[in-house]
Chains A and B, each alone.
Chain A
Amino acid sequence: MNFHLLSLMTWLPLAGAVLMYLTGDSANAATARNARWIALWTSLLVLVLAVVMIVGFNPSVHGFQFVESAEWIPAYGIGYRMGVDGISLFFVGLSALLTPVAVLASWRESRRVRDYMAAFLLLETMTIGMFSALDFLLFYIFFEGVLIPMYLIIGVWGGERRVHAAVKFFLFTLAGSLPMLLALVWMWHHAGTTDMVRLMHTAIAPTIQDWLFIAFLLSFGVKAAVWPLHTWLPDAYGEAPLPGTIMLAAVLSKMGAYGFLRFSLPMLPQATAYFEPFMFALGIIGIIYISFAALAQTDIKRMVAYSSVAHMGLIVVGIFTVTVAGIEGALFQMVSHGLVIAALFLCVGILLARGHSLRLDQLGGLASRMPVYATFLMLFVMANVGLPGTSGFVGEILVMIGAIQANFWVALLVGTGMILSVMYMLVMIRRVLFDQARSVANAVIADIGPREWLLLAPLAVLVLVLGFAPGSLTHIFGGAVQDLVHAHLADLSSGAHGRLAMIKQ
């Protein structure tokens, strides 16, 4: 595999962005149209490459595939290394899938279109690069680089309080990633290289591991919106333009969880075992606390945003069970959550495009006026609350299966999301679709159009296919997760893991 597929996917969007600035000279309508089509075609091309990659991926091979390696700063052991395994494969795929969705969802954007589309393509470069980087420094650059386009997307095209939200987002994530920079320096100093594969096999003293773990927790925790590091999120989600929110919720929030899987678990096994109960607590508090916060929301967009954070708690718990079922559940949930949350935000956008208010007390009665829309929204809400037959359920039950191996109460409390999510989601459904119409009479009430069909239908199909036949996903990352769990357990000499177990023979 030496045709640099990953690099191609990573840098192609950037090339597309550059192309936009080369073809058009000023901000006229033609440039805007060009920018739209360039963005769409570039992102679709990347999606095709992603499909090629997923098809060409061999799940039975251990370790990384499509590996690229080049010297960068050899004196310091730094290289340009890329590659994917079963875990990162789908995040690259998810980024590639959702970028065209976001581009298509922004088709009506009219302010500084070229800059806008360029920002989204830049974002795609950064996310795909981050998920496929195999060198810590490269990873760090992409991880930080995501900030730039996202900051601009929120700050320039956001809602009324956009600057506030953008600054908050920027400060939070930047402050969060400084500890990672320190960890990076330390690990490089310790191992003499930034090659992540070698770092995974470098032993680190347990006392140091604890500090590194905290550093990673701060940086990845902010990105994954782990409670109580989540407070940048409601503002950012609420103020970002909808396609930006989609990328934030569906892709960027996964960066943190991915970081835990890529760094904390394999590189810091003792610390992971030591912090396991703590991470459970954070995850569970997140689920319960954020769900209640969601219940209090009066704005549909913010309600979906909080719902998104609540699900991140489930993912964190799944990862830190360090069981095959738990991690596969978390990964599955990450993919599913990416699709479902993106779709829910798209549904919010459809309301917005029809001039509806997003305030829950001003919506209502849309089920009879927009039946197709209502069907889609109901499907995605059910996937969000984890109804069997949708992708949301598979992740949820697998995390529960993983959690029960750690502790009964963890499984039970993680499951409270099942009840709490129903509480706020059904209130939302009622306020939006049911009841008497409350909205102003002059709102446009056309049901969804062809472009919106094109956006929602593929997501709906994916949600159902993954719900009924999740094997298409799990058999690809199954091997990688098993390797990860086995390596982790092998690293733990003593019985540090499983301190919460309650079963007796």
Chain B
Amino acid sequence: MLLAIAVLAPLAGALLAGLARPTIGRAPAVGLSVASLVVAAIAAIGTVYRHLVLGAADHLVVLGQWISVGTFAPQWALRMDTLSLVMVGMVCVVSALIHVYSMGYMAEDRTEPRFFVYISLFTFAMLMLATANNLLQLFFGWEGVGLMSYLLIGYWYDRASANEAAIKAFIVNRVGDLFFAVGIALTWYEFGSVNFDAIFAGVAKVAPHVYHLFGTDLPVLEVISILLFIGAMGKSAQLFLHTWLPDAMEGPTPISALIHAATMVTAGVFMTARMSPVIDAAPVALAVITVIGGFTAFFAATIGCVQNDIKRIIAYSTCSQLGYMFLAVGVGAAPIGIFHLINHAFFKALLFLGAGSVIHALADEQDVRKMGGLWRKLPVTYVTMWAGSLALVAIPPFSGYFSKDAILSAAFAAHSHTAVFGWLCGTLGAGLTAFYTVRLMLLTFHGKPRASNETLAHAHESPLVMLLPLVALAIGALTTGFLLGPTFIGAHFANFWGSSIALPHGGAVMAARDAIPAWAEKMPLLLAIAGIGIAYWFYELAPALPARLAQTWPGLHAFLLNKWYFDELYDAIFVRPALRIARAIWRIGDEEMIDGVPEGLARLTGDASGVASRLQSGSIAVYGFVMLVGLMVLVTVFLVAR
């Protein structure tokens, strides 16, 4: 019951606010939406407390039948297990905080209720995704969050750049979704069901099946796992399908915090954890996940080091952190991945909301080169953002330390070639993370103010309604690590997660984590401290140095600044050819070649203009009659001639 309230309250809030907006006015509509989220958050905390702390028995909340065609019969239902409850709790709490924050941030927007309808609907879709009991409902939530993400990225739709970013996000996501959908179809074909329990029960039976693809026989489970993972790559902005996420920063900042940091982009990680019984039986898929995740962690961090837009830096950071989560799933430590997901949700939402507070104070300035010295003006934002930054850099006792270092330890302990590669990327990434995070903080808050005097004069701390969520999230960034760590990934982690996450080889990697050499265990932390040191040297002690370095290696700098040229590459091999093909098909293919034949015939059959004049002058009934007679003649001929 509580779970149903948590999931459905945001939907009710959105619908009421949307429908009642013209009658009740602007502020009540917004209030309705926020109130519904507060209710949802309270209900979610209640459910989590009852089931995860008090240990009440989990059960399934069935809402109704969706499709029912033969054996393809997915239901609408809310699944209750540790994995879904952890997600529901996080999503509701973070979303409620961001709703509150948005009341301040969006106060001057022209269509504020629209914004709230969108984010409440988004929250509903995300909760449907998290509580899905079958792949198809998960896909419903998956596409629902995608739609809301599209609408919110393009929220300020009179800006061309926002429109482009929104369309790009939807299309890139859809590329992943296509593979996801085929994966769902193949899962149904193989397992005879899309219900999670039925799928997990059938893994052993399906494991020997092979699929004939690319001229060879591939194990079916590998094919399914890879297809699902490609879907996850799209939603979670992993290498090759990551290009939409930085552009998505065109949306209002609370959206970046909620959708593009805390919740939606982690859906891919959630899905791979949810499907872990299947994916664990697919070693090649696990290796692919490890490599993609690990490399994304490194690659996105390199880009983050040279970006100048405060939100884009954090966006690349998100991309990189999602890579860590996939690395955890890939090496067989999905619980740590989910642990990092939860920690990340708090500290990354905090960083984005803090960035929003800065942007708000500086009259929409987002370039860190034009900030500096803001800590006196924005003391609360400053302190809370440092909390988030230290969590991201993974400095104890902040939360990131407990999860990110555990991921890297697990990767080291896994011992396969791919895991070592992942460890290497992740560890280097840890150093880079520290560098770009501290760079961001130093450029924004420390040093001499570089903003114009006029802007500075107006710079002010945000209102209380925006600061309270910041403080709440900062407490989260400080505490979730050591509070949740022992339960989530401690010695008795298996009891906590129950059957909701499966682990390959009975969780051997989780256990082996403690046995790795001390140097490997400490390496990420050491590199992080080094990263902090270098950032301090570059941006505090010798501010001229970065520019000189960029001049020394212009190629490398441009390579990073242009984000490894992925956008240019895709533009050249996908976007422009697609448009050219489209024009060619229409002009040459459709209009001239295929159409040429019938057009020629039409000309042969008579003068079209003559027909025109007769049609317009004559009576329609006569022509109708003539045609009917013609038809009858035709029929008669065939009857007589038989």
Q: Residues of A contacting B638 with CB < 8 Å?
A: 181, 184-185
Bound-state Cα–Cα, A368 to B155, Å = 11
Name the interface residues of A153-182: CB closer than 8 Å to any CB of B: 155-156, 163-164, 167-168, 171-172, 181
Bound-state Cα–Cα, A163 to B615, Å = 9
Q: B193 to chain A: closest CB distance in Å?
A: 12
Residue of A151, A231, A367, A503 near B209 (CB, 8 A) is A503
Bound-state Cα–Cα, A317 to B182, Å = 15
Whether B602 lies near A168 (C-beta < 8 A) is yes
Residue A129 interfacial (CB < 8 Å): no
Whether B605 lies near A171 (C-beta < 8 A) is yes
Q: A171-B598, A296-B583 are in contact. Are A408 and B186 (CB under 8 A)?
A: yes
Most buried by A among B64, B211, B602, B605: B602
Q: Residues of B contacting A250 with CB < 8 Å?
A: none
Q: A152-B620, A397-B181 are in contact. Are A426 and B167 (CB under 8 A)?
A: yes
Whether B178 lies near A144 (C-beta < 8 A) is no
Q: B85 to chain A: closest CB distance in Å?
A: 23
Q: B526 to chain A: closest CB distance in Å?
A: 45
Quick one: closest A residue to B587, CB to CB? A296
Bound-state Cα–Cα, A430 to B169, Å = 14
Q: Which of A32-40, A256-264, A336-344, A414-422 contacts B (4 or more CB under 8 A)?
A: A414-422
Whether A163 lies near B67 (C-beta < 8 A) is no
Q: B532 to chain A: closest CB distance in Å?
A: 43
Whether A434 lies near B158 (C-beta < 8 A) is yes
Whether B72 lies near A504 (C-beta < 8 A) is no
Residue of B76, B157, B189 near A405 (CB, 8 A) is B189
Bound-state Cα–Cα, A293 to B591, Å = 10
Q: Residues of A contacting B542 with CB < 8 Å?
A: none
Whether A403 lies near B185 (C-beta < 8 A) is yes
Q: Residues of A contacting B589 with CB < 8 Å?
A: 289, 293
Name the interface residues of B539-556: CB closer than 8 Å to any CB of A: none
Whether B642 lies near A185 (C-beta < 8 A) is yes
Most buried by A among B140, B578, B585, B628: B585
Name the interface residues of A444-489: CB closer than 8 Å to any CB of B: 468-471, 474-475, 478, 482
Whether A401 lies near B170 (C-beta < 8 A) is no
Bound-state Cα–Cα, A181 to B634, Å = 9
Whether B620 lies near A189 (C-beta < 8 A) is no
Whether A400 lies near B624 (C-beta < 8 A) is no
Q: Residues of A contacting B623 with CB < 8 Å?
A: 152
**Number of B residues with CB within 8 Å of any CB on chain A:** 82
Whether B583 lies near A504 (C-beta < 8 A) is no
Residue B188 interfacial (CB < 8 Å): yes
Whether B144 lies near A295 (C-beta < 8 A) is no
What number of residue pairs across chains A and B have CB atoms under 8 A from each other?
Answer: 212
Bound-state Cα–Cα, A503 to B186, Å = 10
Contact indicator per residue, chain B 601-617, by CB within 8 Å of chain A (1) or not (0)? 11001001101100110
Whether B72 lies near A292 (C-beta < 8 A) is no
Contact indicator per residue, chain A 479-505, by CB within 8 Å of chain B (1) or not (0)? 000100000000000000000001111
Q: A171-B602, A405-B189, A412-B182 are in contact. Are A325 and B220 (CB under 8 A)?
A: no
Q: Residues of B contacting A404 with CB < 8 Å?
A: 182, 185-186, 188-189
Residue B213 interfacial (CB < 8 Å): yes
Whether B611 lies near A163 (C-beta < 8 A) is yes
Residue B154 interfacial (CB < 8 Å): yes
Bound-state Cα–Cα, A324 to B144, Å = 27
Whether B178 lies near A412 (C-beta < 8 A) is yes
Whether B144 lies near A389 (C-beta < 8 A) is yes
Bound-state Cα–Cα, A228 to B160, Å = 37
Q: Residues of A contacting B65 with CB < 8 Å?
A: 469, 471
Residue A361 interfacial (CB < 8 Å): no
Whether B157 lies near A145 (C-beta < 8 A) is no
Residue A394 interfacial (CB < 8 Å): yes
Whether A167 lies near B66 (C-beta < 8 A) is no
Bound-state Cα–Cα, A147 to B178, Å = 39
Residue B210 interfacial (CB < 8 Å): yes
Residue A365 interfacial (CB < 8 Å): yes
Bound-state Cα–Cα, A418 to B184, Å = 15
Residue A423 interfacial (CB < 8 Å): yes
Quick one: closest B residue to A188, CB to CB? B642
Whether B70 lies near A325 (C-beta < 8 A) is yes
Whether A408 lies near B178 (C-beta < 8 A) is no
Q: Residues of A contacting B188 with CB < 8 Å?
A: 401, 404
Q: A156-B615, A388-B140 are in contact. Are A415 and B578 (CB under 8 A)?
A: no
Q: A388-B144, A419-B178 are in contact. Are A505 and B208 (CB under 8 A)?
A: yes
Q: B511 to chain A: closest CB distance in Å?
A: 36
Residue A362 interfacial (CB < 8 Å): no
Q: Residues of B contacting A412 with CB < 8 Å?
A: 178-179, 182
Quick one: closest A residue to B187, CB to CB? A404
Residue B288 interfacial (CB < 8 Å): no
Q: B271 to chain A: closest CB distance in Å?
A: 15
Residue B222 interfacial (CB < 8 Å): no
Contact indicator per residue, chain A 385-429, by CB within 8 Å of chain B (1) or not (0)? 001110001100110110111001001100110110011001100
Q: B625 to chain A: closest CB distance in Å?
A: 9
Residue B201 interfacial (CB < 8 Å): no
Bound-state Cα–Cα, A122 to B639, Å = 26
Q: Residues of A contacting B147 with CB < 8 Å?
A: 382, 387
Residue B109 interfacial (CB < 8 Å): no
Whether B163 lies near A365 (C-beta < 8 A) is no
**Number of A residues with CB within 8 Å of any CB on chain B:** 88
Bound-state Cα–Cα, A470 to B611, Å = 47
Q: B109 to chain A: closest CB distance in Å?
A: 12
Q: A168-B598, A231-B594 are in contact. Are A475 and B68 (CB under 8 A)?
A: yes
Contact indicator per residue, chain B 117-147, by CB within 8 Å of chain A (1) or not (0)? 0000000000000000000100110011001
Q: A163-B611, A415-B178, A469-B66 are in contact. Are A502 and B595 (CB under 8 A)?
A: no
Q: Residues of B contacting A147 with CB < 8 Å?
A: 627
Whether B182 lies near A324 (C-beta < 8 A) is no
Q: Residues of B contacting A411 with CB < 8 Å?
A: 182, 185-186
Bound-state Cα–Cα, A181 to B631, Å = 11
Residue A300 interfacial (CB < 8 Å): no
Q: A167-B602, A296-B583, A502-B213 are in contact. Are A155 and B615 (CB under 8 A)?
A: yes
Whether A231 lies near B595 (C-beta < 8 A) is yes
Residue of A294, A328, A419 near B171 (CB, 8 A) is A419
Residue of A155, A387, A394, A415 near B67 (CB, 8 A) is A394
Residue A29 interfacial (CB < 8 Å): no
Quick one: closest B residue to A502, CB to CB? B212
Most buried by B among A137, A294, A297, A471: A471
Name the interface residues of B541-597: CB closer than 8 Å to any CB of A: 578-579, 581-583, 585-587, 589-590, 594-595
Bound-state Cα–Cα, A365 to B634, Å = 54
Whether B631 lies near A141 (C-beta < 8 A) is yes
Q: Residues of A contacting B621 with CB < 8 Å?
A: 115
Quick one: closest B residue to A153, CB to CB? B620
Whether A388 lies near B579 (C-beta < 8 A) is no
Whether B69 lies near A398 (C-beta < 8 A) is yes
Residue B635 interfacial (CB < 8 Å): yes
Bound-state Cα–Cα, A404 to B583, Å = 32
Q: 17 pairs across A/B with beta carbons < 8 Å?
A: A140-B635, A145-B628, A147-B627, A172-B598, A181-B634, A181-B638, A228-B594, A231-B594, A296-B585, A388-B144, A401-B69, A404-B189, A422-B170, A434-B157, A470-B66, A471-B68, A482-B70
For the complex of A and B, 7 pairs with smallest distance between CB atoms: A434-B157, A388-B140, A296-B586, A295-B582, A296-B582, A163-B612, A404-B185
Q: Which residues of B come within 8 Å of A, CB atoms?
A: 64-70, 72, 76, 111, 136, 139-140, 143-144, 147, 150, 154, 157-158, 160, 163, 166-167, 170-171, 174-175, 177-179, 181-182, 184-186, 188-190, 208-213, 217, 220, 578-579, 581-583, 585-587, 589-590, 594-595, 598-599, 601-602, 605, 608-609, 611-612, 615-616, 620-621, 623-624, 627-628, 631, 634-635, 638-639, 642
Given pairs A144-B631, A164-B602, A325-B72, 12 additional interface contacts (CB within 8 A) = A76-B642, A156-B616, A167-B605, A184-B638, A293-B590, A296-B586, A388-B140, A401-B185, A401-B188, A412-B182, A426-B170, A468-B76
